[in-house]
Amino acid sequence: MMTKKIPVAEINKKTTESIVEDTLKNDPKNAYTILGLMVEKFGVKESEIASKPFNQWKKGMPTMYTKIRLSLEKLVKEGKVKKQKVSKAQVYWWIGEKSMTTKQRRGDNFNISSNLVNDAHNSWEAGKSGPLV
């Protein structure tokens, strides 16, 4: 069936991705878990998800979890968010906007690592350091 009209309220509705990004951007002093974001920003009751496998969650919650996770991973890839494992959970926090594209960052990382390898090799050849590892 072809869509003929969409309510304007649906168009202006915030997406999961924008809610996640705004939450982290507006609270850069705190790190969040995916479950924490579900409870804090999406109105999920902690008792509905805590210590329960996905198959015991209410309908739609595993999908919400996945949308939040994918949004966070996209922000990590864009360089706006950092992640780290703490205990058994991954936590995510805002580090700021990056002006470089992913392609530029990859190129810069390659150049930096190439320069380090070249410097190490040159030092080793000149006898300034021990064996090249």
Q: Which amino acid is at 31?
A: A
Highest mean pLDDT among 59-68, 90-99, 119-128: 59-68
* pLDDT value for 128: 46
Q: Are 78 and 106 in contact (CB under 8 A)?
A: no
Mean pLDDT of the residues in the chain? 79
Could you say which DSSP state residue 56 is in? Answer: G
In CATH terms, is domain 14-94 a member of 1.10.10.10?
Answer: yes
Break the chain into its structural domains and give their ranges: 14-94, 100-133
More confident residue, 111 or 92: 92
Range list of β-strands (E), 33-121: 81-86, 89-94
**Span 36-57, pLDDT tens digits:** 999 999 999 999 998 899 899 9
Q: How many residues does the chain have?
A: 133
pTM: 0.65
